[in-house]
Amino acid sequence: MQLGDARSGKLAGNVVAFGRALRRAGVPVDAARIGMAVEAAGLVGVASRSDLGAALEAVLVGREQDRAVFRELFDAFFRDPAMAQKLLAQMLPRGEGQAEPVPRRPRVQDALAPRRTPDAAGQRRPDRDVRFDAVMTASRLQRLRHADFNALSGEEYRLVERIARDVALPVPQVPARRTRPGLRGDRPHWPGAMHEAARTGGELVRLPRRRRVRQPLPLLVLVDVSGSMERYARLLLAFLHAATRRGQGPRGRCDVFAFGTHLTELTAAFRIADTDEMLAVAGRAIDDFAGGTRLGDSLAALRTRHARRLVGRRTLVLLITDGLDTGEPEVLARELAWLRLHSRRLLWLNPLLRFAGYEPLARGAAELHRQVHGMLAVHNIETLEQLAASVAAVMHR
């Protein structure tokens, strides 16, 4: 790849190709941003690689969680001689004690993967020079919106996971205890009234008011990482991380726990801006992934060690599980009753609702169905898009 060849004019084409690679990596880049990137690259020039990267980052990146993806993709796309030497060294025979290369993020690997299309004989051949920006057709997108997460292939699963990160989940907002000056309110704002009177010579023309601030409900997420929930856990964690990081209006408190045979806290991992990095940190923290489910014991650990996470019976609890619990039903009933008592709403997000005639016949599922305030489906993109409306309906019921 030639960068800034004055004889052939490759700079603009390379910047356009880099913008399309960012788009394939999930970074929202439109034609206007790519046009500004080409103009910025022409103004900055290619004398300094760091200046070029800073200029492109300023116009192409609009979200904090995309900065790490941009920098890694920029280093891989516009390779310098040192990078070329490292790639060449990886192809040579390795001796013992050599360090392994740093793995790339999945979004960067997908963006740098060669784009191939099948020919008439069914063989794979490289793309032609004319390439399309569309990732998929409308019919395929419509099919994937209704496809169950557990029935997707590996490529479709990665694509649906990327789509799920753009689905919004606005948390319901309630009036807080704090107030602030406003045009309407139920309390007079006496300091503001004194300032108004001082400006009008002692006459009080208008009585300022104070109104209560609205803030999102505290959120507690409990995700089942047992074997039956393996395909759902990673995708729903990515969806919830992107939705709570992006948010609508002020961002509220969010505590996240994973449970299988025991409870694992993921709140620190959820504070990471990049979703891929969050999933990697969570994967290293969870040591009972794809095992059994002991929801009662996990809720008991939540009550004894993390009861303060439930803020004043105002917390919205999202319990993501299929209800196939292997613990004692008496323990589960006791802990669910405590959790329901100390939360505003306890919602069961159940992927088994994909079946039309589903009934909670298992002992754990029957106890969950009896204790929770509502049971919602989370098995495809369409149900994720309807989740916010479903949560709001349960909150107002």
* Burial letters 10-31, b for 16+ CB under 10 A, else e: ebbebbeebbbbbbbbbbebee
Q: What DSSP state is assigned to residue 5? A: -
Instruction: Judge whether 72 and 108 are in contact, CB under 8 Å.
Output: yes
Q: E strand or H helix at 191, and its extent?
A: helix 190-199
From the options 2.30.130.10, 3.30.565.10, 3.40.50.410, 3.40.50.12780, give the CATH code of 217-396.
3.40.50.410
DSSP, collapsed to helix, strand or coil, labels residue 380 as coil
Domain boundaries, the chain: 11-87, 178-215, 217-396
Nearest residue to 76 (alpha-carbon basis) of 147, 25, 120, 128: 25
What pLDDT shows up at residue 5? 43
* Confidence bin at 137 (pLDDT 50/70/90): low
DSSP, collapsed to helix, strand or coil, labels residue 187 as strand
pLDDT by residue (tens digit) across 209-224? 888 888 888 999 999 9
d(CA 258, CA 393): 26
Stated pTM of the model: 0.66
C-alpha Rg value of the chain to the nearest Å: 26
The token pair that represents 265 in the structure block: 């806290």
Q: What DSSP state is assigned to residue 65? A: G
Instruction: Judge whether 178 and 253 are in contact, CB under 8 Å.
Output: no
Q: E strand or H helix at 276, and its extent?
A: helix 275-285
pLDDT by residue (tens digit) across 17-50? 888 888 877 788 888 888 899 999 988 888 888 8
* Burial letters 270-296, b for 16+ CB under 10 A, else e: bebebbbebbbbbeeebebbeeebbbb
What pLDDT shows up at residue 91? 43
CA 377 to chain centre: 18
d(CA 239, CA 249): 18
Instruction: Judge whether 125 and 360 are in contact, CB under 8 Å.
Output: no
Q: Amino acid identity, residue 30?
A: D
d(CA 384, CA 378): 6
Pairing of strands 254-259, 187-188: unpaired
pLDDT by residue (tens digit) across 308-341? 888 878 899 999 999 988 889 899 999 999 999 9
What pLDDT shows up at residue 6? 39
* Confidence bin at 116 (pLDDT 50/70/90): low
What pLDDT shows up at residue 87? 45
Q: Classify burial at 110, counting beta carbons within 10 Å of its beta carbon; exposed 0-12, middle 13-18, buried 19 or more.
A: middle
